[in-house]
Amino acid sequence: IKTAKVDTMRTLDDGTKVINTTVLGKDITGYGGNVPLEIYVKESRIVKVKALKNAETPEFFAEVKPLLSKWNGKTINEAQQLKVDAISGATFSSRGVIGNMKRGLAYASQKAIEPSILEQMNLDAKTISALIVVLLAAIVPLFYRNKHYRTIQLLLNVVVLGFGCGTFLSWSMFVNFVSSGINFWASLVPIIMLTTAFIYPLFGKKNYYCTNICPCGSLQDLAVKTKNKKWHISSKVAKRLNAARKFLFAVLLVLSLAGIWFKWMDYEIFSAFIFQTASVFVLVLGGVFFVLSFFVARPYCTYVCPTGTLFRIAERR
């Protein structure tokens, strides 16, 4: 006979963790057999304890039920320290409940405690450096303009945000945020980037993210600073290239909305910064545009980038 698999812990839609002690307390018995429980934990506090189906005598177990509320409102640590006595007249059933609670609380202390804000932020050296760089890029250019500082900022964007952390705005990130939601504290750097891309333009700072933060744009800006002969693109050719960019964006948007081809998002050249896992095609494409950047100002940003096109459309609204 096959039995349904029991999840020791599951998460409800509101974030409540439910600990099932069926497996954890399989060797703990009351008077008639196992006394499994469900322990509901939200924000590291016990919301309620529910008794599952068991073989205890109903009359005896009715005496034990008041025990189940003893742990309500307690933190997991407080509940573990709480001393609960067995109810006389239903000693074995009481011990079964208390034993299951101890097992469930021990498990919850390891698995169900909500991580602190600092833990969610995961403040390792890489995250801290990215946070510093993106804050500098989001604030300093608003008040201070200097070509030497700008060069340093561009280098930081490329080295830290690009190659170091692989953090940038892209269609893949937007889709991920829409489908899975945003963990605020774990996504501080992308949230700051989103703010500069969509909120700054409302206050007159158009194209701010692309100009001051985007690692891809920064790399192209550094390349064009080199002293070599630049190519002249006539206004007629520029108009055609811009029309091609808009057409490409429209096609990709239709494909995405129709659910026909989401794979194109994997070919945005931003992922070339994460060269360890980037596809050969993306690396080659990124290399081509990097070389072009020595002769044409921001070729990818100006004539291709679907993400940048989205920003431009948003800025006009």
Supply the pLDDT for residue 1: 41
Is the pLDDT score of 242 beyond 50?
A: yes
Provide mean pLDDT across the span 233-253: 92
CA distance 216 to 211: 10
Long-range Cβ pairs for the range 248-252 (8 Å, 24+): 248/304, 248/306, 249/306, 249/309, 249/310, 252/306
Q: Which fold has domain 9-111?
A: Sufe protein. Chain: A (3.90.1010)
The closest of 297, 290, 289, 287 to 231, measured between CA atoms, is 297
Supply the pLDDT for residue 112: 61
Question: In the structure encoding, which two tokens stand for residue 26, read together?
Answer: 């399989």
Question: In the structure encoding, which two tokens stand for residue 27, read together?
Answer: 């060797």
Provide mean pLDDT across the span 243-250: 93
Helix (H) or strand (E) holding 41: strand 37-42
CA distance 254 to 271: 22
Is the pLDDT score of 215 beyond 60?
A: yes
Supply the pLDDT for residue 269: 93
Residue where the block lists tokens 């599952």: 52
Mean pLDDT of the chain: 88
Provide mean pLDDT across the span 131-154: 97
Terminal Cα distance for the chain, rounded: 62
Give the model's confidence band at 154: pLDDT under 50 very low, under 70 low, under 90 confident, else very high. Answer: very high
Domain boundaries, the chain: 9-111, 118-316
Supply the pLDDT for residue 116: 64
Supply the pLDDT for residue 90: 73
Torsion angles phi and psi, residue 138, rounded to 5? -80, -20
CA distance 278 to 270: 9
Question: In the structure encoding, which two tokens stand for residue 16, read together?
Answer: 């409540």
Most confident range, picked from 29-38, 172-181, 204-213: 204-213
CA distance 114 to 251: 43
Supply the pLDDT for residue 72: 94
Percent of the chain with pLDDT over 90: 55
Supply the pLDDT for residue 2: 45
Supply the pLDDT for residue 158: 98
Supply the pLDDT for residue 270: 93
Helix (H, G, I), strand (E, B) or coil at 62: helix
CA distance 11 to 151: 48
CA distance 247 to 182: 30
Supply the pLDDT for residue 111: 78
CA distance 265 to 284: 16
Percent of the chain with pLDDT over 70: 94
What's the pTM value of the predicted model, to 2 decimals? Answer: 0.67
Which pLDDT tens digit goes with each residue over 83-126? 888 776 677 788 889 999 999 999 988 876 666 677 666 678 88
Give the model's confidence band at 277: pLDDT under 50 very low, under 70 low, under 90 confident, else very high. Answer: confident
Decide if 188 contacts 167 (C-beta within 8 A).
Answer: no
